[in-house]
Amino acid sequence: MLIYKILLPAEWDQFEATGQFDGSPFDHTSGFIHCSSRDQVGSTALRVFAGEPELVVVSLDAETFGDAVRWEPASNGEPFPHIYTPVPRSAVVAIHRVAGAAHVDAALPRD
């Protein structure tokens, strides 16, 4: 199963340079790395990244994380995938460069 992490271009650059992603500042305050399912990623992009001109959405193989990925309710009660470990570059199945949050849903293939 694929899950999705939305990154700012600078976060993706750092991810590639170091070979792993330890989380955004918001992830650090939450204690886990926020991700979305395919059905959630478009609305997440609009809600959290509406003002960003460019995004990088990475598709992650959820099985890579074993018990470190947990589906937990967000503030709206809907379960979202949360990763409780750094994300290795080897977990990235696909990289999608997107021209803003409004284009995320259309840019990603359907599972």
| Distance between CA atoms of residues 66 and 42, nearest Å | 25
Angle, CA 103 vertex, CA 97 and CA 108 arms, to 5°: 60
Confidence at residue 100, expressed as pLDDT on a 0 to 100 scale = 95
**DSSP track, 54-74:** -EEEEEEEGGGGGGGEEEEE-
Confidence of residue 110 (pLDDT cuts 50, 70, 90): confident
Confidence at residue 26, expressed as pLDDT on a 0 to 100 scale = 94
Confidence at residue 50, expressed as pLDDT on a 0 to 100 scale = 96
Domain of residue 37, CATH code = 3.20.170.20
Q: What is the mean pLDDT of residues 78-104?
A: 97
Confidence at residue 111, expressed as pLDDT on a 0 to 100 scale = 61
Q: Measuring CA to CA, which residue among 88, 89, 76, 20 is closest to residue 36?
A: 76
Task: Check if the beta carbon of residue 55 is closer than 8 Å to that of residue 45.
Answer: yes
Residue-range definition of the domain harbouring residue 56:
2-107
Confidence at residue 75, expressed as pLDDT on a 0 to 100 scale = 85
Q: What is the pLDDT of residues 18-77, one digit of tens each?
A: 999 999 999 999 999 999 999 999 999 999 999 999 999 999 999 999 999 999 998 889
Confidence at residue 101, expressed as pLDDT on a 0 to 100 scale = 97
How many structural domains comprise the chain? 1
